[in-house]
Structure 1
Amino acid sequence: MTDPRRATPRTDTVLADPALAPAAARLGRDRVRTVVRDVLDRCRAGEVSPDEVVPAALEALPTYASSLRPVINATGVVVHTNLGRAPLSALAREAVVDAAGTTDVELDLATGRRGRRGAGALAALAERVPDAEAVHVVNNGAAALALAAACLAGDGREILVARGELVEIGDGFRIPELLESTGARLREVGTTNRVRLADYTAAVSERTAFVLKVHPSNFVVRGFTSSVPVRELAGLRHDGAAVPVVADIGSGLLAPHPRLPDEPDAASTLREGAGLVTASGDKLLGGPQAGLLLGRADLVERVRRFPLARAMRVDKLTLAALEATLRGPEPPVLAALATPREQLRSRAVALAGRLGAGAGDAGDAGAGGPGTVRVVETTGAVGGGGAPEVTVPSVALALPAGFAEALRAASVPVVARVVDGQTLVDLLAVAPDDDDQLVASIHEIVSAATVLEGKTSRTGAV
């Protein structure tokens, strides 16, 4: 008998099939060829019949252009670091697409000569923070602080910083190590829980480059504590000359926010006397990953012209998204923080109705089988290392605990959290435009669970 595997088609024959042409045009011929070869290996192994090679290849082709997959953030954490921090607004996404082609990023179209890179984004940032004499943008918040340290103190001069503000910023990276890597020397003042103006005054010398004020946004120290505000640090002098104050506010809040009274903002910090403010663009600002530097014109210009600034410059996509965020409608992060709980509850009730479930106390949410969905009140968090003690009123759909893993495996993954034996699909950070997809993802895993439950009840085993 003839081995049917001898009928395995050639690679070029499969690639020439018209059904694969759209995928080759979208994903590239090399990527499609790799998938086809894998399917042909399965065919030779007898796992796929020769006449099913093309359908199997189409099924195996990646849905997305990269390995990054869109997910729905139902964790209740508005700025979730593991989920890319701030989601961009619709206008910012549109700006990224527009900028992805050939753009006038460093060209003055009127004169035909080289223009200032990112002039539109820088102008938009300056307009939003008029207290800043000048602004600059680099590739992330840590880079902004590192660049300031390298420029102003990288020759071995000292940075005065309170011992209690030497924080770890995530993934094991620490502020003191970041600063020392630039060539600057740290001089710690005060103790872990208390620092006074006199501590700074005693430490100021001819070696002092600047005083650093770090907002410890990812933790809070309570009890017998004291710290020195920027307005008092701004009065420090040595030999009659003012000592610059660099304030790392972290989260990128440009102006005071009513829900975040303890979170420092750029405008207020500059008015208090900071010479330079550094912050992130992808947290409470709600834009792309970027590092912001705002402050005195002479300091910003020194930093901008420092050689290391070239290695930290942002690309055209970041500039486009940042400008659109600054000049466009309220970004998703701020919209989420401003959404009243009642509005979230109305959405949750509507979603529960579409899922064929009721609303009310979810105390027995796990007892009714795969289809059980309840509406419950929850509290969310700001996230992104900001406002650690702030809780944000929210509402969630409660499902059985085992659904959390299944939701992450849905065609469009939903990342929820498990609390007290139930999966909470928190709506705080879910955009209303994603409600249809959220329902589809839950339907998908509930249907699968129902089928599995039916098989189990008939056979007594899975």
Structure 2
Amino acid sequence: MPTTDPRSRIPRTDTLLASAEAIAAIPRLGPDAVRRLVGATQDRARRGEIAPEQVSETLADALARQRTTRLRPVLNATGVVIHTNLGRAPLSSAAIDAVREAAEYVDVELDLATGKRSKRGAAARAALLAQCPAAEDALVVNNGAAALVLATTTLAQGREIIVSRGELIEIGAGFRLPDLIASTGARLREVGTTNRTHPQDYADAIGPDTGCILKVHPSNFRVEGFTSSVAVPELHELAARHDLPLLVDLGSGLLEPDPLLPDEPDATSALSAGADVTTASGDKLLGGPQAGIILGRNEIVGRMAKHPLARAVRADKLALAALEATLTGPVAPTTEALHADPARLRERAEKLAAEVGGEVVAHDGRVGGGGGAGVPLPGWAVSLPENAAAAMRLGDPAVMPRVHDGRCLVDLRCVPEADDQRLTAAVRAALG
């Protein structure tokens, strides 16, 4: 007597789409995504991976776990604070709330009192100037490279930019400063050598085609030994003598000095020392969203704001909202992680080790993102078998540890204390 094909017991598509779980998921995921999950679950039953009677339950679980983006949240247990592969600076709760509000209609270019168009980014500009009084004006664009491109295009398109050979850096993913500036139509006039550049080198290069003098913070490397470079005050004196603008690319985005990073340049010091304009990133040491920060003299920043390129690189409403909240709100997670108390980090590491096993070892964190090159951040980590790392990365939540010398190191510096229990559960699951 023929047996009934078990696939005939698989619930129909219309039945599954009419389930309470599917209907509830549509506003969050959209009808197409829900239909795809229904089909995928039915296909699992047809392949025999699950029984037909498990389809409804499996679908409900899949709908609950399905995210609206393929980007997955990750607990950063590497000890690297500004981790480019993990999105650089995590936003503060205030900045996250600001992004959520700005996702709807907002008065980004509207004066509600008059009903007329207003200046874009006015609130973020005011917040920047409040945090950096040495600047006369501010402009926000979509990232640090865009800020430098806009500045060099405005000041030196078709002309020469004088820069030290020791500052012709390559940043992440193979992007090189010379190529970036060449794309603006400006010509680089290299002076000095890799390890030594003197004031006279700049002076000898100045000519009728000079558009500006550029100083770049090397960021992610250090040259030590027989070295010499020219500081901002000396360059300011030279630039002023020849009526040339002095542009300083800071890289990591400090607005004022940080004793933890004595060699990291900041906007306040650079502008006070004579820089006409500074450029930096918003999602590094500043601890905000991806943005390019331009600070400097009214006349020059105003010219940049009016340049046609400014429209192409302007920041969107979400970045402007997050930047304003970062500047006016509580201490950013980046700052908290940089200045974390080593004693407290050890307490947390010992608690984790007691619950999952492993050894607590001394572990220096790093600034990351090209900031504080070579500056150690003393702390602690839990040392586990190396094979735990892959399971942690693929777990839920995903955890990114550091793999070093055949060990998996879990550093809690960048993990919010509120997530300690989630981290513990993830590590325990990875260890089986």
Q: TM-score normalised by the shorter chain: which range applies?
A: over 0.9
Which residue number in structure 1 is paired with residue 375 of structure 2?
390
Amino acid in the other structure paired with 1:70: P
Distance 2:413 2:36 in 1: 41
Which residue number in structure 1 is paired with residue 305 of structure 2?
304
Q: Is it true that 1:119 corresponds to 2:119 in the alignment?
A: no
Deviation string, structure 1 residues 38-72 (Cα, Å, up to 9, x no partner): 22233333444333222222333443220111111
> Which residues in structure 2 correspond to 1:196-207 (within 5 Å)?
196-207=198-209
Amino acid in the other structure paired with 1:434: D
- How much does 1:246 deviate? 0.4
Which residue number in structure 2 is paired with residue 88 of structure 1?
91
SS, match of residue 234 in structure 1: helix
Distance 2:67 2:48 in 1: 29
> Which residues in structure 2 correspond to 1:35-184 (within 5 Å)?
35-61=37-63, 62-154=65-157, 156-184=158-186
Runs of 4+ in 1 over 4 A off after TM superposition: none
After TM superposition, the structure 1 stretch with the greater mean CA deviation from structure 2, 22-31 or 119-128, is 22-31
* Number of positions where the alignment pairs a residue of Structure 1 with one of Structure 2: 429
Distance 2:215 2:173 in 1: 22
Distance 1:127 1:273 in 2: 19
Deviation string, structure 1 residues 287-325 (Cα, Å, up to 9, x no partner): 000000000100000001100110111111111110010
Please tell me whether the aligned partners of residues 232 and 273 of structure 2 are also in contact (alpha carbons under 8 angstroms): yes
Distance 2:407 2:225 in 1: 35
Amino acid in the other structure paired with 2:97: E
Which residue number in structure 2 is paired with residue 360 of structure 1?
none
Please tell me whether the aligned partners of residues 159 and 184 of structure 1 are also in contact (alpha carbons under 8 angstroms): yes
Please tell me whether the aligned partners of residues 234 and 242 of structure 1 are also in contact (alpha carbons under 8 angstroms): no
Deviation string, structure 1 residues 375-410 (Cα, Å, up to 9, x no partner): 222111100011111000011122222111111111
Amino acid in the other structure paired with 2:104: G
Amino acid in the other structure paired with 2:218: P
Distance 1:153 1:169 in 2: 22
Please tell me whether the aligned partners of residues 106 and 114 of structure 1 are also in contact (alpha carbons under 8 angstroms): yes
Please tell me whether the aligned partners of residues 99 and 317 of structure 1 are also in contact (alpha carbons under 8 angstroms): yes
Please tell me whether the aligned partners of residues 213 and 239 of structure 2 are also in contact (alpha carbons under 8 angstroms): no
Which residue number in structure 1 is paired with residue 320 of structure 2?
319
Please tell me whether the aligned partners of residues 166 and 175 of structure 1 are also in contact (alpha carbons under 8 angstroms): yes
> Which residues in structure 2 correspond to 1:197-276 (within 5 Å)?
197-237=199-239, 241-276=242-277
- How much does 1:120 deviate? 1.0
Distance 1:196 1:152 in 2: 23
Q: Percent identity?
A: 55
SS, match of residue 171 in structure 2: strand
Q: Is it true that 1:444 corresponds to 2:429 in the alignment?
A: yes
Amino acid in the other structure paired with 1:377: A
Distance 2:239 2:147 in 1: 25
Please tell me whether the aligned partners of residues 239 and 246 of structure 2 are also in contact (alpha carbons under 8 angstroms): no
Distance 2:60 2:160 in 1: 61
- How much does 1:237 deviate? 4.8
Amino acid in the other structure paired with 1:112: G
Which residue number in structure 1 is paired with residue 281 of structure 2?
280
Unmatched 5+ residue regions in structure 1? 356-370, 450-462
SS, match of residue 235 in structure 1: helix
Distance 2:414 2:11 in 1: 49
Please tell me whether the aligned partners of residues 235 and 242 of structure 1 are also in contact (alpha carbons under 8 angstroms): no
Distance 1:323 1:224 in 2: 43
Amino acid in the other structure paired with 2:217: H
Which residue number in structure 2 is paired with residue 399 of structure 1?
384
Amino acid in the other structure paired with 1:191: T
Give the aligned CA root-mean-square deviation in angstroms. 1.5
Q: TM-score, normalised by structure 1?
A: 0.90
Distance 1:170 1:148 in 2: 21
Amino acid in the other structure paired with 1:401: E
Please tell me whether the aligned partners of residues 153 and 184 of structure 1 are also in contact (alpha carbons under 8 angstroms): yes
- How much does 1:176 deviate? 0.3
- How much does 1:31 deviate? 0.4
Distance 1:433 1:118 in 2: 33
- How much does 1:13 deviate? 2.5
> Which residues in structure 2 correspond to 1:356-395 (within 5 Å)?
371-395=356-380
Please tell me whether the aligned partners of residues 372 and 400 of structure 1 are also in contact (alpha carbons under 8 angstroms): no
Distance 2:78 2:145 in 1: 26
Pick aligned residue for 1:417 from 402, 422, 427: 402
Distance 2:302 2:256 in 1: 23
Distance 1:167 1:193 in 2: 13
Unmatched 5+ residue regions in structure 2? none
- How much does 1:97 deviate? 1.1
SS, match of residue 285 in structure 2: coil
Q: Is it true that 1:20 corresponds to 2:22 in the alignment?
A: yes
